[in-house]
Amino acid sequence: MEKKHIYVLKAEQAVRKFVVDGVRLKKPEDVDERLLLQRGCFVSLHLENGDLRGCIGTIEPRFKTLFEEIVQNAISASSTDPRFRPVAAEELSEIKVSVDVLSPFEEVTPDQLDPAVYGLIISDGFRKGVLLPALESVDTIEKQIDIVKKKARLQMVDNDQLKFYRFRSERFE
């Protein structure tokens, strides 16, 4: 059996600890150095059939360590994603967890995008939408832009009035 990556393991532990015990997973004394990075990340929960069950993330780090970022996003994905009801303890055995760790983002023009390689952030200075890269159903730049504009409620705004940022993401499952 393949050993789970430390990011996935900590996200799973954080979800379980919060859903079952109602408390936050504490950082161990001898934390793995990979968890000491400062990065944005997304924690996604999927059912065994592949359906999304929760996903919350940060494009820029809010905490000093990736450990804290993963724990907070795992708790939020399981309890406060507005699209879903909170995860119940009975569901835990059916949920698969993935963690996407983001690179810093850079401002680009739409022609510098590639949905297979880069995630996308679009902003008008007030509202912001984000989409992770390499999503199965997103195969064109136009589709990626349309989805992100819709998420940010920017559909009616011309692209030349918006800022586009791209980032890379490494997924751990």
Pairing relationship of beta strands 119-123 and 128-131 according to DSSP bridges: antiparallel
d(CA 19, CA 105): 32
What CATH fold (topology level) applies to the domain 106-168? Dna Ligase; domain 1 (3.30.1490)
What CATH code is assigned to 6-102? 3.30.700.20
Intervals of CATH 3.30.700.20 along the chain = 6-102
Mean pLDDT along residues 104-122: 96
Q: What is the pLDDT of residues 58-91, one digit of tens each?
A: 999 999 999 999 999 999 999 999 999 999 999 9
Q: What is the pTM of this model?
A: 0.89
Q: What is the pLDDT of residues 13-33, one digit of tens each?
A: 999 999 999 999 999 889 999
Start-end of CATH 3.30.1490.150 domains in the chain: 106-168
